Amino acid sequence: MTVIIKIEVIYDGNSYFLQTTKHAYANLMVLLLNELTDEDFGDCKGMGKCGTCLIEILEGNDDLERQDRNEETTLSKMKINQSNIRLACQLLVDESLMGIKIRVI
Ligand code: FES
């Protein structure tokens, strides 16, 4: 059965509703880059090092586990310690994003 993932995204002051399927994109950064953002988003192509793919989780699952040490290091260098601010490249497009509302920072 195909799992449909629906995400609301605030980008540049506008609200967008994106719909995709599980693992259709390598990660959330690639989805946002393909569908919405400009080419400066995701500068390091998902290595978790550039910090250009920041998102804020506004509603839904704001406790997605951080699994990547690069993300911890990058966010700490940027002095970000809120758990709802994440690197989109470190979030898989799967059920954990179902119904989530995010803002591209
Ligand atoms: S793409 Fe560089 S940190 Fe996410």
Q: How would DSSP label each residue in 26-67?
A: SSHHHHHHHHT--TTTTTTSSSS-S-TTEEEEEES---PPP-
Residue 60 has pLDDT above 90, yes or no: no
Residue 75 pLDDT: 95
- Give the number of the atom of ligand 1 that is nearest the alpha carbon of residue 45: 1
Q: How confident is the model at residue 69 (pLDDT cuts 50, 70, 90)?
A: confident
Calculate what percentage of the chain has a pLDDT beyond 90.
79
Calpha distance 92→30 (Å, rounded): 10
Say how far apart CA 8 and CA 15 lie, in whole Å: 7
List, in order, residues 6 or more apart from 78 with CB less than 8 Å away.
51, 54
Predicted confidence at residue 62, as pLDDT, reads: 62
Q: Which atom of ligand 1 is nearest to the CA of 44?
A: 2
Going from the N-terminus, what domains does the chain have, and what CATH number goes with each?
4-104 (3.10.20.30)
Q: Judge whether residue 63 has pLDDT over 70.
A: no
> How many H-runs (helices) and E-runs (strands) does the chain carry?
2, 5
Distance from the alpha carbon of residue 89 to the mean position of ligand 1, in angstroms:
5
**pLDDT, position 104:** 97
Q: What is the pLDDT of residue 61?
A: 75
28 lines ligand 1 (CB under 6 A): no
pTM: 0.92
Q: What DSSP state is assigned to residue 4?
A: E
Expressed in angstroms and rounded, the spacing between residue 4 Cα and the centre of ligand 1 is 25
